[in-house]
Structure 1
């Protein structure tokens, strides 16, 4: 143990250990999907930061851990952005520096019940503040939120309907803090156990109290996944393959057919022949076809990614333009400064156009759908707004073909489970090359995933539901509560720093010397 302590005295070794500790939560996400590991994954990072010799060192521990976390969760970007991935992870890792300081402030030294109780609330609140800041699209968006690793746990999905993925992240961090206290604390262990019991009680209460989505019917949704299509004319070949697969749905009576992101690489106004072929597919299958056009627009400048609904008479006029673009993948932030990223990776050579508002489409059969495009499924507020505006079914059109042989397709497909549970609305995640997935209004999987090796069309019987979840009604209330906790902490610390120190008592005069029993006079 002493040897290990001496090993940590090296700043570089300590920084490396912090980065490795920060990367541990990556195993809670797909593909490994070790959801249970989330409840201990932060413990090594917490123990390292609490043992920092100074507050400045704790800030560095927080930064290095954040770097490790961001790099591990986004490691599949390395083939596209190369060294720039590390640069971005280092910049975003700075957001965790104050969190590392908070860990030392509340858990460092000898633990007391009071500080432990505060840590069980403040540290999860601090983590939520970090997730809120990095959820801004310009900083990369909310991919890899800690609570998202709980996408396949039924009780967690129930909690998501109450407070969204934010509530899950809060509870996961709270459990990690309690476990860390159990490892190092003695007098504070009772508080840690009480915190674990309180967390379990809150989760159980939410399980009983939270209203369940009331299934009121089913809708048949067909997902068309063409798979990898290469060649110099890949756009046309992909369209031909999607058309072939869609014709296999004739006689299966789907209510809606969904193609993936960038499934049509041509503006339908410029290619009326393709619009006619899509209309023929709609007539043959008896269902509208929702395609995704990734092309330069003829009615406005720029390239847009747009969900376009096509009926038996052609495009219906319902169109949604993607609003939240992938940084570097679809636009380069501060291109005048960071444009060099296009020379070291696969960053966008031209910024895509940006949509202005979300759209709810009427596809017939009494069904209203809310489309999202790829990266947008990571944002809880977008699906919540669609549900609030009356969408009965959420649709995600996606393509992760660039990251085909990585963990990205599985991670992306899992996000739809959380969006479904949060809103109480079923969600269909349709991709070009996998993974495509469908989830019911409770977030549970409907039918099998279509993996990255599949080239097929499949019809899913998707349960529909009515009612409104607490999360749709109340929004991101766990974030607001966390910010209030941090504001209260800041006010308390500020008041303590400004409080005038009590003046030290004046030193008492030394006792007078006595000479033969009488007080000595000066000069004697």
Structure 2
């Protein structure tokens, strides 16, 4: 039951994309955990529920990882053990208003801590954060510009906890209603008072999606053919997907000349992605390379955060056998060292990201702080065609755009390609996984600095502070209980003894009186 209850929130993400379900999806899991007979059982419910959630959200990885996806889900599911324990601690039985109020703050906080830890790139990254389910809800996107996806996740868990209290905890319903009213006030306040991104101009961006074409050579030729069709359409930039070029441009100058010829034909720069062994450095890199009329402009970004097992195998000497049971990387890719903001002719500055990196809120925030006016993601989800992965990945671009007030172009080899404006609103048609075309988008540019870019992930810091206060209070309570015990080790009173009943002392007994019941 815990596994199934934990899996329910996955329906709020694409492809089902039942965004409204996220507001009650945790309720069955919470009800199960709070009713556990012991705290240990609640911790088991937290662990198995977390594993069920991760398996459901990442189920499309099973053909690639096989048994590893189960092991990873069980490992990362341990992050929800504190959540299960705290749910039982605060909501079990008939809690009063104080415990309910604490639950409305602490349970969302410990959920954020679980999401924060699993967002570490070496543990799989921040895919499937609960707040990401709200990528198409305009009020939620406005809140994202204030506190990022973290604020959305905090409020969603708070609403689920409040609904759970309304269902099962009669004494705490007033507090739960107050929590829901606070959430409503936060949304209304953000809608009324939070500034929005300014849109001082537009840029015409072309996205080339060759479609499902086996082999890097035919795929490149299809991309070149689609690019030539853009001649005379007055575009500012042409974006190809991830791994669109399979040879190093330095080692193959004829390939660089062909790309330069395409740039001259279109009258705009090309942003291609080279997935190849580099001549001047050992190993394979995935690099965003800007091509101008005369060839590579010298502006290049090397992918910094790689997909575990997909682009490298952690502890390969120990786990290298994964290549024999799944589609794990046969050779580790190499990492870049720093983000790059590329300058196009005119005033347009773009911040490139590669595939997996669009899931990380901190990377797009850093590019916006460095002066990027547009974010560009080059992706390839061709391995997962027919699954939920392409739609889930494209939806992340809406959140990153809303968080940073910067439009985001999500260009893929095989779909789904999509473009979102600086408020997270969709721009133009999405290119589905069955499309092979070049589409031109008139993209509104963002200006100004969003509160999230300026301040950072403050909901995470607030959650840490709340949990620190709780831990300090619990520690102090435990210390007081220990110091209240008599030094002789005798408990405060014997089992069954009334508080007002004191044991007899030898000096209180009258030895000259006969014992009752004896002659």
Normalising by the smaller structure, the TM-score range is over 0.9
Paired residue for 2:410, among 426, 429, 433? 429
Secondary structure at 2:133 match in 1: helix
| CA positional deviation for 1:209 | 2.1
C-alpha distance in structure 1 between counterparts of 2:353 and 2:242, whole Å: 10
Q: Which residue of 2 aligns with 1:335?
A: 316
Q: Deviations over 1:154-188 (max 9, x none)?
A: 00000000000000000000000000001101111
Distance 2:57 2:322 in 1: 21
Equivalent of 1:141 in 121, 125, 138: 125
The Cα offsets for residues 302-350 of structure 1, whole Å up to 9 and x where unpaired, read as 0000000000000000000000000000011111221121111011111
Among 493, 496, 503, the alignment partner of 1:507 is 503
Contact 1:369 1:395 in 2 (8 A): yes
User: Any conservation in 1 of the 2:65–2:326 contact (CA below 8 Å)?
Assistant: yes
1:267 match = 248
**Do the aligned partners of 1:225 and 1:455 also contact (CA within 8 Å) in 2?**
yes
How far apart are 1:98 and its partner, in Å?
Answer: 1.2
CA contact (8 A) 1:264 1:292 kept: yes
Q: Which runs of 5+ in 2 are unaligned?
A: 487-491, 494-501
Kept in 1: contact 2:5–2:26 (CA 8 A) = yes
1:69 matched to 2:53? The reply is: yes
Contact 1:59 1:98 in 2 (8 A): yes
* Alpha-carbon distance in 2 for matches of 1:218, 1:57: 56
Q: Which residue of structure 2 lines up, in the alignment, with residue 4 of structure 1?
A: none
Shift of 1:520: 3.4
Q: Residue 425 of structure 2 is aligned with which of 444, 448, 451?
A: 444
Equivalent residue in structure 1 for 2:15, among 23, 31, 39: 31
Q: Which residue of 2 aligns with 1:256?
A: 237
Counterpart Cα distance in 2 of 1:478 and 1:502: 40
Question: Who is 2:394 aligned against?
Answer: 413
The one-character-per-residue Cα deviations of 1:366-424 (angstroms, maximum 9, x if unpaired) are 10000000000000000000000000000000000000110000000000000000000
Match of 1:245 among 213, 226, 232: 226
Question: Following TM superposition, by how much is the alpha carbon of 1:121 offset from its aligned partner in structure 2, in angstroms?
Answer: 0.2
Please report the TM-score for the alignment, with normalisation by the length of structure 2.
Answer: 0.94
Secondary structure class of the residue paired with 2:411: strand
Select 1:319's aligned residue among 292, 300, 313.
300
1:476-515 aligned within 5 A: 476-499=457-480, 500-501=483-484, 504=492, 506-508=502-504
CA distance in 2 between counterparts of 1:513 and 1:96 reads 62
Q: Distance in 1 between matches of 2:269 and 2:228?
A: 13
Q: What do residues 480-517 of structure 1 show as CA deviations (whole Å, max 9, x unaligned)?
A: 11011111111111111111236537424699799xxx
After TM superposition, the structure 1 = structure 2 runs for residues 456-467 of structure 1, keeping only pairs within 5 Å, are: 456-467=437-448
- 1:131 match: 115
Q: Distance in 2 between matches of 1:225 and 1:219?
A: 19
- 1:45 pairs with 22, 29, 49, which one? 29
Distance 1:235 1:386 in 2: 30
Match of 1:205 in 2: 189
Question: Secondary structure, in 3 states, of the residue corresponding to 2:401?
Answer: helix
Q: Offset of 1:451 from its aligned partner?
A: 0.2
TM-score after normalising by structure 1? 0.94
Tell me, in whole angstroms, the C-alpha distance in 2 between the residues paired with 1:521 and 1:43.
67
SS in 2 for 1:91: helix
1:219 Cα deviation after fit: 0.2
User: Which of 100, 103, 108 is 2:84 aligned to?
Assistant: 100
Distance 1:79 1:303 in 2: 24
2:385 is the counterpart of 1:404: yes
Aligned partners of 1:494, 1:513: CA distance in 2, in Å? 46
Note if 1:122 corresponds to 2:118: no
SS in 1 for 2:170: coil
Per-residue CA distance 1:56-112 (angstroms, 9 max, x = gap): 111111110011000000000011111221111111111111111111011111121
Classify the secondary structure of the residue corresponding to 2:201: strand
Are the counterparts in 2 of residues 50 and 104 from structure 1 also a CA contact under 8 Å?
Answer: yes
SS of the residue 1:305 aligns to: strand
Q: How many residues align?
A: 501
| Cα deviation, residue 211, structure 1 | 1.2
In structure 2, the partner of 1:84 is: 68
Paired position in structure 1 for 2:513: 520
* Separation in structure 2 between the aligned mates of residue 258 and residue 494 of structure 1, nearest angstrom: 56
Return the alpha-carbon distance in structure 2 between the equivalents of residues 27 and 383 of structure 1: 26
Alignment of 1:157-172 (within 5 A): 157-172=141-156
**Structure 1: 5+ residue runs without aligned partners?**
1-16
Q: State the match for 1:13 in structure 2.
A: none
Q: What SS does the corresponding residue of 2:446 show, helix, strand or coil?
A: strand
1:521 Cα offset (Å): 6.5
Q: By how many angstroms is 1:365 displaced?
A: 2.5
Residue 279 (1) aligns with residue 260 (2)? yes
Q: Is 337-346 or 32-41 further displaced after alignment?
A: 337-346
SS of residue paired to 2:225: helix
* Alignment partners' CA distance in 2, 1:509 and 1:306: 85
Alignment match, 2:498: none
Corresponding residue number in structure 2 for 1:12? none
Q: Per the alignment, in what secondary structure is the counterpart of residue 23 of structure 1?
A: helix
- Does the CA-based 8 Å contact 1:255-1:365 persist in structure 2? no
Residue in 1 that maps onto 2:2: 18
Deviation at 1:26, TM superposition (A): 0.6
Match of 1:302 among 264, 272, 283: 283
